[in-house]
Amino acid sequence: NEEEEKTEDYLFKIVLVGDSAVGKSNLLARYARDEFYPNSKSTIGVEFQTQKMDIDGKEVKAQIWDTAGQERFRAVTSAYYRGAVGALLVYDISRRQTFDSIGRWLNELHTHCDMNVVTILVGNKSDLKDAREVPTAEGKGLAEAQGLFFMETSALDSSNVTAAFQTVVKEIYNILS
Ligand code: GDP
Ligand code: MG
């Protein structure tokens, strides 16, 4: 049967990191369920969601963890990061302060995870064109300097959401396979 023909299965833990209200929970809701919450509170966060992907005919599962609001108290626990092989480092392009926090989140990530954790810098809320405070070039520049992938996304209009998660999953797969 089909189940037995599968040669290998992969399960990758990926964490969402970044300041409160940058859109982490909505990126996950958009990716995993194609849903969006216009006035979400941190309470919508679930512990994690598992998404299946097919790469080279192999079933790859991404187990994506959401902070569920812990970051508001700067109390993201080491258990949250433990075993993560991928990360989305998220800021809000309409709030510079959230971009300024990226260095701190990157330090925290590298404190708790392997230095080789596959990381993408994500400038979310790209739909808020008139409110932009962080130019695309600045995000791209930071990503290049730190050796991160980079993408601007919108959980509201869906742009690049799947691409951002898939970039991380595919890179992890390429490294580990
Ligand atoms: P979290 O604290 O990082 O998990 O952020 P949330 O996902 O809870 O989102 C915080 C707020 O930003 C909510 O009111 C969302 O509706 C809103 N939001 C999230 N993503 C986007 C986006 O891409 N565009 C816009 N315009 N708003 C967004
Ligand atoms: Mg959240």
Ligand that lies nearest to the alpha carbon of residue 93, given by its number in the listed order: 1
Q: Which atom of ligand 1 is nearest to the CA of 67?
A: 4
- Segments in 1-71 forming alpha helices (H): 2-5, 24-33
7 Cα to the center of ligand 1, angstroms? 39
Indicate the top mutation candidate among 17, 22, 26, 152 to test ligand 1's pocket, ranked by most ligand atoms within 8 A of CB.
26
Kindly tell me if the per-residue pLDDT of 43 is higher than 80.
Answer: no
Amino acid (one-letter) located at 91: Y
pLDDT at residue number 41: 67
What is the pLDDT, as a whole number, of residue 78? 86
When pLDDT is cut at 50, 70 and 90, the band that residue 79 belongs to is confident
Q: What is the number of the ligand closest to the CA of 69?
A: 2
Q: Is 40 in the pocket of ligand 1 (CB under 6 A)?
A: yes
Number of the ligand closest to the Cα of 21? 1
pLDDT tens, residue by residue, 88-145? 999 999 999 999 999 999 999 999 998 899 999 999 999 999 999 999 999 999 999 9
